[in-house]
Structure 1
Amino acid sequence: MRPYLLYKAPALVLALCVLLLSACERQSGLKLEGMQGTALWHVTLTDPPADVAPETLQAGLEQAMATSAKRIASWDKDSEISRFNQYQEAGWFPVSAELAELVSMTLQLSKQSNGVYDVTIAPLIKLWGFASHDAAKDVVPSQADIDAVLAKVGYQKLQVRLDPPALRKTQADLQVELASVADGFAADQAGLYLESLGVRQYMVEVAGEVRARGKSPRGDAWRIAIEKPQEEGRAIQQGVHLEDMGLATSGDYRNFFIQGGKRYSHTIDPASGYPVTHNLASVSVLADTAALADGYATVLMALGEIKGKPFAEQHGVSAYFIWRKQDAFETYATPGFAAYF
């Protein structure tokens, strides 16, 4: 199995009430929203704490989002992950427990997928012009440039220690990019902040990635819509009902360029250094946390519909695939995912 990494596309999951206004009109609860970097977030609390003012909740959520970015945003030269990327020594580099746990999760996914998921592919992503906060180049790199960058890639060169939390690299110029799980991680951290206040029923959505706990203000499960992966306009492909889980979607149709009549996706194969080619347009995953759902969605999107479906079934991943077939879409849901339709 060849290794891949997906650099996350713009969000493909929409809160159902964004698209179905009539359903929203029947909801109550407290709704908050904001921006963290370029990511828009929404939070709904079914039973907001009576002793915490909405302004305090807003400020606390903004702080949780900002702290998440300070841990993992590679575009921030002062973030934890950026400082580790700049670190040239062979010893352990101390980090927060949250970052160590997230990197540990990504390395577990790398091993489980035989390298399909690899967060050390940052130099290749940048070379192709898909790096976060970089302007797209729309230029196919030379083979010489690709070969030079490939020597800097490999998740086996990255190590993590949980106690005390630290990261270590076995190659000085190794770079780590966590954009593929950033939105799910932020949603989880915001949810943990709410839970620290005693909030047990809420929905956090960050750039389309969702963490839901308890019941919605209607008294039933949270209703979330998965967007149809079309390049023009926005429409619902499938609705799901969530309780006490995370949902994430990855796709390829809003982050690509065309050169010489050929489409180049942001999904890069670090074995060859070139974008992968398959017909999978998007894949959604349910998991215990939004970050884990984010990671598995990345793995499956990189594998494509043919290899992704047996991987999901073998590893018990609840997933929903949408792939292109001529001028239409075909879909497949694992039994674990279909149970939430």
Structure 2
Amino acid sequence: MLVSRYSLRSALILCCAGLLAACGPADKQQVSVISGKTMGTYYRVSVLGASKSQEAELREKIESQLKEDDHQLSTYKDDSVLSRFNQYTGSEPQPISQGMADAITTSLRIGRLTDGAMDITVGPLVNLWGFGPTKQPVKMPTQEQIDAAKKLDGLQHLKVIEQSDGTYLQKDLPGLYVDLSTVGEGYATDHLARLVEGMGFSDYLVSVGGAVVSRGYNEKGRPWQVAIQKPTDKENAVQAIVDLQGMGISTSGSYRNYYELDGVRLSHIIDPKTGRPIQHKLVSATVIASTALEADGWDTGLMVLGEKKAMALAEQQHLAVYLIMKTPDGFQAYMTPQFKTYIRKADQG
């Protein structure tokens, strides 16, 4: 389960002005770029054809939207909507926004399809291993501690209730702790994309952390492109480049957010079944879907499953997936037929 706030991952590189060179003749319209920090990571909004006044208005609306999203999902702020729900030990349905309901419903569905690999209720395990609001442990958690934390999770204990007067979230396990870090970036990215479109812009690229949504064309008159980063600590090392074609994309990787304890490298991605950080050979999973939220949920579940189960499920569900595995000879990539249609032709083969 991705954590460290909303996860400091940067496995996708935006192929726009100032990063990777785009192709084609320049257009008279310029790209306005608005960027900053949010949710423990970074955001970037590139919009074609915005005036100075529109850019200023857009910046203000972006900051307001991100502040609201953080207020909804943060586990670092005691007064956030999610933190208040986690602190509540009763069983009465608690009011939540429609946006949060959509994020949780999507997470629950993907959780079921991945046989619990994508589990937004593993907050106690995430915190135990030091990837949540709590500090990193000074020694390896014991099996007893892991077992105790596992008793506090389970997707079956969480329910979204739609009523005529609003949307509610209910739990039947008092200690249930929901952590939406794994879909937080996709959640916020989709919101920013809708915000940009609401202002009348049809050519843009939006990213929050490792989640990206694009529509239309860049200043070169070409579709926005995104590069999948090689599983290395080196910045801007490109594995493959994709044309999003108006879709959302998200990458989860085990090689960026980690720490070492007792000589063991511990990834921020926790396997709900073992209660421990993943140890398999799959180091990166990239998913393209209709929304960044959907892609953001799937990439984590596939990372938890490992290479063989992830491949099988991706093919079964007809997902557009790109996986990178560590081998004795380096790294090996695998992609589903659905993903191949997005690969830039110059990079195929």
TMscore range, shorter length: over 0.9
1:331 alignment partner, SS class: strand
Structure 1 alignment gaps of length 5 or more: none
Deviation at 1:10, TM superposition (A): 1.6
Deviation at 1:208, TM superposition (A): 2.9
1:19 alignment partner, SS class: coil
Q: 2:342 aligned with 1:340, yes or no?
A: yes
Match of 2:77 in 1: 76
Q: 2:154 aligned with 1:154, yes or no?
A: yes
Stretches of 4+ aligned residues off by more than 4 angstroms? 21-27
Question: Aligned partners of 1:306, 1:161: CA distance in 2, in Å?
Answer: 35
Conserved 8 A contact 1:224-1:242: yes
Question: Aligned partners of 1:234, 1:185: CA distance in 2, in Å?
Answer: 25
2:219 alignment partner, SS class: coil
Conserved 8 A contact 1:9-1:251: no
2:303 alignment partner, SS class: helix
Question: Aligned partners of 1:288, 1:273: CA distance in 2, in Å?
Answer: 31
Conserved 8 A contact 1:160-1:168: yes
Question: Aligned partners of 2:109, 2:242: CA distance in 1, in Å?
Answer: 27
Match of 1:170 in 2: 172
* TM-score under structure 1 length normalisation: 0.92
**What letter is aligned with 1:309?**
M
Match of 2:14 in 1: 15
Match of 1:251 in 2: 253
Q: CA RMSD in A?
A: 2.0
Q: 2:324 aligned with 1:322, yes or no?
A: yes
Structure 2 alignment gaps of length 5 or more: 344-349
Question: Aligned partners of 1:144, 1:165: CA distance in 2, in Å?
Answer: 37
Conserved 8 A contact 1:153-1:174: yes
Deviation at 1:123, TM superposition (A): 0.5
Match of 1:104 in 2: 105
Question: Aligned partners of 1:250, 1:202: CA distance in 2, in Å?
Answer: 23
Conserved 8 A contact 2:254-2:284: yes
Deviation at 1:274, TM superposition (A): 1.8
Conserved 8 A contact 2:71-2:81: yes
Q: 2:207 aligned with 1:205, yes or no?
A: yes
1:53 alignment partner, SS class: helix
Question: Aligned partners of 1:227, 1:249: CA distance in 2, in Å?
Answer: 9
Question: Aligned partners of 2:8, 2:301: CA distance in 1, in Å?
Answer: 13
Conserved 8 A contact 1:6-1:299: no
How many residue pairs were aligned? Answer: 335
Match of 1:310 in 2: 312
Deviation at 1:276, TM superposition (A): 2.4
Match of 2:291 in 1: 289
| C-alpha distance after superposition, 1:295-327 (max 9, x if no partner) | 011111111111101100101110101111014
Conserved 8 A contact 2:24-2:222: no
* TM-score under structure 2 length normalisation: 0.90
Deviation at 1:138, TM superposition (A): 5.4
Question: Aligned partners of 1:254, 1:51: CA distance in 2, in Å?
Answer: 36
Question: Aligned partners of 1:20, 1:232: CA distance in 2, in Å?
Answer: 15
Q: Is 26-35 or 214-223 further displaced after alignment?
A: 26-35
Question: Aligned partners of 2:259, 2:105: CA distance in 1, in Å?
Answer: 32
**What letter is aligned with 2:111?**
S
Question: Aligned partners of 1:39, 1:262: CA distance in 2, in Å?
Answer: 25
Q: Is 76-85 or 134-143 further displaced after alignment?
A: 134-143
Question: Aligned partners of 1:214, 1:119: CA distance in 2, in Å?
Answer: 33
Q: 2:101 aligned with 1:95, yes or no?
A: no
Question: Aligned partners of 1:31, 1:13: CA distance in 2, in Å?
Answer: 17
1:107 alignment partner, SS class: helix
Conserved 8 A contact 2:25-2:220: no
Deviation at 1:134, TM superposition (A): 4.2
Question: Aligned partners of 2:278, 2:22: CA distance in 1, in Å?
Answer: 41
